[in-house]
Each structure stands twice: as structure tokens, then as C-alpha cells.
Amino acid sequence: MMSAPTMSEQTARPGASILTAVAVRNLTKTFAAPGAAGRFTVLDAITLSVGEGEFVSIVGPSGCGKSTLLNIIAGIESHESGAVMVGSRAGHAGSQARIGYVFQSPRLLNWLTVQANIEFVLEAQNIPRPRWQELVAKHLALVGLAGQEPNYPLNLSGGMQQRLAIARALAIEPDVLLMDEPFSHLDAITARKMRFDLLDILAKARTTILFVTHDLSEAVFLSDRVYMMSIRPARIFKEVRVDVSRPRRPEDSRILDLEKTLVREFFGALEAK
């Protein structure tokens, strides 16, 4: 098991422990350069960790490789060097870890009912059938979709579809929930509501989250800790702890102040190049 010394001095969300849920060490990923010889580096020596029960965000400009990083952690993309570890609970070896993933768009199976969409991942994860009913009902209620079981996704609004995607990810009781700009396709008002609701949901579900976004204020409002990522090469150039107690308000002056400082630093670093 990996120890994370930097974590021990942090006071994360209540319920967060010092156990590591995700650990990435020195991860490097390159792609073949299109049209030219050689390769270009997408991710350059990325090191990060997420404690169990912690909400960690990665903020970076579009195209900096954030999604690639999540895909590597999820195990659907390869990498050249470095180590990725997910899950620290006893009996959960790396590849066996349960990973929930919420994408930018809901990526629902529109031909299946709301219930069957969740059952799809339960079946995929070999969760015993007798538990399905309970898991589906519990997580639909958690995201505010109770009673929608027989409905079809295309009859739901965009916000509700994304809620269903969140319920689907939580239903497998994941070791970590990866979220890739999950609110960027929603209108500002719906997105704002979804952020509040996400924090409510997490207060109940106590899930570990690794959240990727290009929106600094979103990251600061939601997270216990924020990593800032640069583009070309994609490196993590700063790590910040958000020491504001929960429940939070986005207009809280401590959050706004931190946001201002980070915006200055973030764009300072990006534009310096």
C-alpha cells in the first residue's frame, strides 16, 4: 500500500482519511506526432494523489491532456512510464478497483430505461443480481430521479440525463469517481444547481472524486485540493488546498479570494510561455 505523506497534515472533508484512493507517480504519455517523425509528449511526469473520501480537481486548459489522464487512470488508455494505483481498500487490487466515470456528455444507452441503464453497469461489474433493485432505487433517489425507473433517457432533460450518469457511476459503489468536465455541456443555471447537488450527494455517498475541469471557480468551489496543469508540456505546476469549511457558498469571500489569486497565477503561468 502506498503512503502519502503530504496528505497526513491535511484536514480534508469530514470522513476523508489519509488512505490513498488514487496514486499517480511520474506518469508519462506520448503520442505519435501526426505526419511527422517522432512523438510528442501529452503527459509529462505527472504525480498526484487522491485521499480516500477526498474531492480533488485538476484544472487545465482545453487540450492539455486532462481527459487522457483520466482515461489512463480508468484503464482504457495505455501509458509509457510511471505507475497508476487505484483503490486501497483491502481486497481491491489495482485492476480490480471499481471506477465510476462521468463524462462530459451523459453517454447513456438511450434504448434502455433509466433502470436498465444502471443495471448495465451493475451487470458489467458482476454485482450480484439480488442487490440490483436496492442499488438502483437508492442511487436514483440520491440524485433526485426517484420514480423515473421505467422512463427512457431521451424523455429526460439534459440536467436529468447527467444526474442519471452520476447515479450510474455511484451505483457500483466506486473506489473513485472520475468526472470529466461533467457540467460543461449544461447551461450556466443548471450547472450551478448541479454543483450544489453534487456536494449534497457526496455528503451522503462519501465518494472519492477526481474531477477534471477548465473552470477554476468550479474547481475551487467543489474541491478539497486543486492541481493546476499546464499545456505543452502537460505538467502539474501547482497544488493548492482549499481550506474552506462545508457547506460552502460560491459567493463566500474566502472562495472568491482564493479564486482571484489562482486565476492570476494560472494565467500568469500559461501566458509566461
Partner 1 sequence: MTLALGLLAWEGISKFFLPVIFPGPLELLDRIFAIYSDPASYRVVGQSLSRIFVGFIISMLAGTAFGILMGLKRDVEIFFDSWIMVLLTVPAVCWAFLSVLWFGISETAPILTIVLIVFPFVVMNIWEGTKALENDLIEMGRVYKADRPLMLRKVLIPQLTPYIFSSLRIALSLSWKIALVAEAFGAGSGVGQELINWFQDTRVDMMLAWGASFMIVMVLIDRLVFRVWERRVFAWRPQFAT
Residues that bind partner 1 (CB under 8 A): 71, 74-76, 99, 101, 103, 105, 107, 109-113, 120-121, 123-125, 152-155, 172
- Nearest approach in angstroms of CB 129 to partner 1 is 14
Place of cell 463524462: 103
**Minimum distance, C-beta of residue 100 to partner 1, in the bound complex (Å):** 8
Strands 55-59 and 209-213, how do they pair?
Answer: parallel
The rounded distance, in Å, linking the Cα atoms of 4 and 271 is 32
Q: How far apart are CA 259 and CA 219, in angstroms?
A: 9
What is the H or E stretch that residue 269 is in? helix 253-271
* 203: alpha, beta or left? (left if phi > 0; alpha if psi -120 to 50): alpha
Tell the smallest beta-carbon distance from residue 167 to partner 1 (Å): 13
Q: How far is the CB of 6 from partner 1 (least distance, A)?
A: 28
- For the CB of residue 64, give the shortest distance to partner 1 in the complex, in Å: 20
Residue 26 in grid coordinates = 511520474
Nearer to partner 1, 60 or 153 (CB): 153
Compare residues 58 and 165 and give the one whose CB is closer to partner 1: 165
Nearer to partner 1, 53 or 153 (CB): 153
Q: Can you state the angle between helices 188-205 and 132-142, rounded to 10 degrees?
A: 130
